[in-house]
Structure formats: C-alpha cells, structure tokens
Amino acid sequence: MSRRPTELPERLLAGDATDFERRLIDAALEKRPSAAASARIARALGVTVTGIGTAAAAKALAATRVTAEGSIPVVASTSGVWTWVSVGVLGLGVAGAVVSARGRHTSRLEPRAVLAVPPAASTPETELGPRTWRAVPATTERPPASVSSSRRPTRRPTDGDLRDQIALIDSARDALTVGSPHRSLEILHRYQEHYPSGSFRPEATATMIEALVKLGRATDARALAIRFVAEHPDSLLAARVAELVGLPTPGSVP
Amino acid sequence: MTASTNRAARSQVDRSRLEQIFNAHHAAVWRALRRRGLTPEAAEDATQETFLLAAERLEDIRPESERAFLLGTALRVAHTLGRKTVRWSLDEDMDQRSSEVRDTSERHADGELCDLVLSQIDPDLVETFVLYEIDGLTSPEIAGLLAIPLGSVASRLRRAREQFRSAAARLERNLKKEGEP
C-alpha cells in the first residue's frame, strides 16, 4: 500500500533502525541537564524535581541543599542500595515563591510575571519511607535569594566540594553494590583524607562499616560501629549500622 | 468558599500541573536548547524561561500538546537569544573527532557520536528529524511548530533520515576501523 505524501514513516526506534542507529538515538534521548541544573531550575519555578534518578537526584538535592531552607538530603536503604530521597521542602520551601523568584530572576532574559502560588506551608513535606537514613551535612548555609543559574556568578567553593564529596560517597556505595568492598574502602579513605571535616562523614563511616562487614572484617566493623552509634545515637544511620554488626538498635528497649 | 480560597486552590492546581510538566519534559526542552547551540548555562536559563512562559499560559496548554508547546516555546526562546544551531565541520575530520569522543565515558561518547551524526544532516532538515525521531512529536505538531505544511514535514523527514543513516553508517565503519565496539 502506498503511503500518502504527508504520512510519516514509522519512527526509526520503532522500526528498522540498525543497532548502531538505535544506540545513537538512545544516547540522544538520555541527554539531559545535570541533576544539579534540574534542581536549580525546579527550585526557581517552585516545583519539586522527581524522576531524575536516585543518585543523580541526591547530587542535585544535596548540591542545592545549601540553598533550600529546611531541606535535608536523606538516604534510604532499599535492598542494600542506598537511595537518596528528598525530605526538604524543595517545593514548599519556595512555594509561593514563583512570583518572587521570578521577580528576583536575574537571567539574561527579560523578567516577566508568573503564575501566582500561595505562600509556603510551614510544615515540610517528607518523602521518607520506612528505614530511612538521614544524612545531615555538617554545614548549614543560608540560601541565596534566587536560584537562577545566571545568578551564580561566583559559586561558593563549598558547592564544588559538596559535589565532590557526594560523588565520592556515591562511588563508594556503587562499589559496594557491585561487590567491590575493597574499592569502596579505598574511596572512603580518600574521602576521609580529603574531607576530614566533610559534610557526609556519617555516611562515609556507615558505608565503611558495611564494606568491612562484606570483607569479613567483623571485629573492625563492630569497633567502628560501636563508636559510630555512640557518637550518633540519634542518627537514623545508627540503627542501620547497629543492625549490620548485630548491636542492639539504638533507642530500643533492652 | 471565598474568592481567595478559590484562588489559592487554583494556584495549587496550577503548581501541581507545572511540576508535572516540568518533570515530564524539562530534559527534552533542555536538549532542544542545547541542540540550538546554547551553552549548558544558557540552556539552563532558557529552560527556566520556557517553563516560566508555560506557567503564564497553563490554561491555554492542552495536556496532549504540552511537549509540542514547550519545545516550540524553547525554540522561540533560543531564537530570541539569537543563537544558531551549532554545527561542526566534520566532513574532513570525522575520524579524528570520533576518536576524541570515544575517549570519554561510553554513554557520554554515544551522545557525542549522535551529535556528530546529526551535524551531518542538512540544517533545514535536522530539526524535523530530531522533533520526530528523538522528541517524539507528531507530524501536525511539527508542522505547527515549524510553520510548514504537512507535506514538507514528510519530505524533510525522509531526506533527513537518509542523511542520518548515511552519516551513521559512515561513522560506524570508521569506528570499526579504529577497533571500537
């Protein structure tokens, strides 16, 4: 049957694309802004980013953490893979701020009014599931007034550090996930060496304990875990760490 | 219900919808802007601008046309910024370029390779190809967005596809010669 001149052929991906063509188009579809960029844009719009991906979202949220009042990056454990979720009020923290964010927008583009959004609720939304680990970075900085990318002429040095820290922690976790605890430990040692006062020390230590357990170094893991639980009794990580080495869960009735 | 309550409820609905379309389409919008030659930073600003414009016109955007509306807006924003699609002159140095992009991570390299191939397509045709094959727009949507007849969409796509396949085949041969997978 002949095709009408205005009728389009089947899309390549759905049709007869070669493997190589498919690979190219797939790669094009995977291109996206960095998670941090997505988070910045979302925040400026007063919406919450979802579906960027777990670690990517974590990086984004953590990178913007310093700018979102009341926002805390959180780590959740699911089947051994740590999934980062947002507890912050990324949306709510800026809810009602679309207008104001727009007003403060200093992009090269001409500012305009945008839809009105009611003021932020005072209670933050949470996306915490069961067994959620909290990662509370050691530093807390006040957010800038706006998040327009062009309003970041001088990036704070800690942003790069934070990203690097998150990347290291992510790499360490990834190494654990693919069964390379040695590699994980190596990365974590590097983290501790570079960031002795790093924002994610608790996560680093918890990951290290898990790596040690996987390496069969139970005594080392237990010693580290005992110290960790003592230092961070209220941390959600403490429960996980205690469980890993068979310590009583912090806060549980003996 | 008071008028202010109504307004607040309405605003909440608008914000939910904006959030939904942002999460569904912002990557495609950003890609479209990058393809127009914007730097990552400029694309970030332009993506924000695109969604701000969308926020102003949420009521006018039909749910089935969100993607087309956003991409059209993004292209106009890019146009406003006065940028032209970046095209590499690769006819002579594709071998060298393909080696260079393979040096980076695999996935990123594939993306670069795709750009390489797209850059081989005639500038008048590549937009149609991308909107159809990558962004998934329909023929009427592309026709509306580019302000061209449906017949032109079909013919541009046909020619663009020929060029894409030819460039992809050539690149694949080059990569095989270099011993790449």
pLDDT on residue A250: 63
pLDDT per position as a tens digit, B166-179: 999 998 888 887 66
Closest chain B residue to A48 measured between Cα atoms? Answer: B19
Question: Is residue A164 exposed (0-12), middle (13-18) or buried (19+ Cβ within 10 Å)?
Answer: middle
- Work out the minimum CA distance from A178 to partner chain B, whole angstroms: 18
Q: Which one of A4, A13, A19, A31 would you mutate to disrupt binding with B, by most B Cβ within 10 Å of its Cβ?
A: A31
Residues of B in contact with A91 (CB under 8 A): 15, 19
Contact A30 B107 (CB under 8 A): yes
Nearest to A28 among B40, B77, B114 (CB): B114
Chains A and B: how many Cβ contacts under 8 Å? 162
pLDDT on residue B164: 94
- pLDDT of residue B130 exceeding 60, the answer is yes
- pLDDT of residue B160 exceeding 90, the answer is yes
More confident residue, A228 or B100: A228
Nearest to A20 among B18, B136, B172 (CB): B172
> Which of B 6-65 lie inside 8 A of A, CB atoms?
7-8, 11-12, 14-15, 18-19, 22-23, 26-27, 30-31, 34, 40-49, 51-53, 55-56, 58
Q: Which one of A114, A146, A150 would you mutate to disrupt binding with B, by most B Cβ within 10 Å of its Cβ?
A: A114
Residues of A in contact with B146 (CB under 8 A): none
Question: Is residue B8 exposed (0-12), middle (13-18) or buried (19+ Cβ within 10 Å)?
Answer: middle
Does residue B132 sit at the A interface (CB-CB below 8 Å)? yes
Residues of B in contact with A47 (CB under 8 A): 15, 18-19, 22-23
More confident residue, B158 or B109: B158
Contact B23 A51 (CB under 8 A): yes
What's the per-residue H, E or C state across chain A?
Answer: CCCCCCCCCCCHHHCCCCHHHHHHHHHHHHCCCCHHHHHHHHHHHCCCCCCCCHHHHHHHHHHHHCCCCCCCEEEEEECCEEEEEECCCCCCCCCCCHHHHHHHCCCCCCCCCCCCCCCCCCCCCCCCCCCEEECCCCCCCCCCCCCCHHHCCCCCHHHHHHHHHHHHHHHHHHHHHCCCHHHHHHHHHHHHHHCCCCCCHHHHHHHHHHHHHHCCCHHHHHHHHHHHHHHCCCCHHHHHHHHHHCCCCCCCCC
On whether the pTM is more than 0.90, the answer is: no
- pLDDT of residue B163 exceeding 90, the answer is yes
Contact A117 B11 (CB under 8 A): yes
- Work out the minimum CA distance from A131 to partner chain B, whole angstroms: 26
Q: Which one of B2, B12, B26 would you mutate to disrupt binding with A, by most A Cβ within 10 Å of its Cβ?
A: B26
Average pLDDT over residues B28-55: 86
Mind listing the pLDDT tens digit of every residue in chain A (254 residues)? 555 666 777 888 888 889 999 988 888 887 888 888 888 888 888 888 875 443 444 444 444 433 333 333 333 333 333 333 332 323 333 333 343 344 334 343 333 333 433 333 333 322 223 322 333 333 333 333 333 444 343 344 355 667 777 778 888 888 888 888 888 888 898 888 888 877 778 888 889 999 999 888 888 888 888 888 887 777 778 888 888 888 877 665 44
pLDDT on residue A53: 42
Please state, in angstroms and rounded to a whole number, the distance separating the CA atoms of residues B36 and B39.
9
pLDDT on residue A136: 33
